[in-house]
Structure 1
Amino acid sequence: MTDWNGPDLEKIAAAEELELASERSDGTLRDPVTMWVVRSGDQLYVRSVKGPDGPWYRGTKSRHRGRIEAGGVRQDVTFHPAEPGEYLGVDAAYREKYGHCTSIVEHVLTERARASTLRVEVHERPG
């Protein structure tokens, strides 16, 4: 794992939405899905409104890798389940960034959505 560089972290965190394409078991990428992304500390996070049953979330489980694009940054990444101790910071980040969407933001703050919280980390592909 490689840490996010400051400018990329800032650009992705500032983007309203992120495009996420998870990697299939054969190494090819699925079609990208548009979603919200938040920053808590020096980490990026995404959640599925449908929780662990969300199709895109299930897609991250085959290889835990993929590619994201947001704020002019395109990056290969790995997906790591967040620990419950990270949820409060992620909740606060969603409220702060997307609080203007009050009828929608509550959907990413449910227990079901929290259970699908993924930390998105830089993945350097060989070659």
Structure 2
Amino acid sequence: MTTWTPDELRTLDRIDEIRVAGRRQDGSLRTLTIVWHVVVDGRLYVRSVRGAEGGWYKGVVRHHEGAISWDGETRDVTFVPDDTADDEIDAAYFTKYGNGSSTRAITNATAKPTTLRVEPR
């Protein structure tokens, strides 16, 4: 398994948004979509603010493979459902993005079940 480099994690932790896309059955990428993300204990996590009905989320969980893009970088990734650090992820979202309505939406009962750990490939 490939891991994130320390530099990649520092950059990902610092920036506000990444773009994610799932892979279609033919191997092509779906449209990249902007999402909020957090780094917790050296791992990258994303959630769907629209819950399981979010378009990008549906595309990602179909095959659990895709790509993310940030600051001119693009990496192939695997999306892994992971609810083992939900409290820490919630806290990281509030620390990174503040206590506004958008952060409350990404940490609510609709979004929380869509937590995905993003692993580089």
TM bucket by the smaller chain? over 0.9
User: Deviation of residue 107 (structure 1)?
Assistant: 0.3
2:94 is the alignment partner of 1:95: yes
In structure 2, distance between residues paired with 1:117 and 1:28? 24
Partner of 2:27: helix, strand, or coil?
Answer: coil
In structure 2, distance between residues paired with 1:46 and 1:79? 9
In structure 2, distance between residues paired with 1:80 and 1:122? 11
TM-score by length of 1: 0.90
Q: Which moved more, 1:19-28 or 1:64-73?
A: 64-73
2:60 corresponding residue in structure 1? 60
In structure 2, distance between residues paired with 1:67 and 1:76? 4
Q: Which runs of 4+ in 1 moved over 6 A?
A: none
* Native 8 Å contact 1:12 1:73 kept in 2: no
1:71 corresponding residue in structure 2? 71
Give the RMSD, CA atoms, in angstroms.
Answer: 1.2
Partner of 2:25: helix, strand, or coil?
Answer: coil
Partner of 2:85: helix, strand, or coil?
Answer: helix
2:116 is the alignment partner of 1:118: yes
Where structure 1 has 5 or more consecutive residues not aligned to the other structure, the ranges are none
TM-score by length of 2: 0.94
User: Deviation of residue 64 (structure 1)?
Assistant: 0.6
In structure 1, distance between residues paired with 2:71 and 2:16? 8
User: 5 Å matches for 1:1-127?
Assistant: 1-83=1-83, 85-99=84-98, 102-123=100-121
In structure 2, distance between residues paired with 1:76 and 1:10? 18
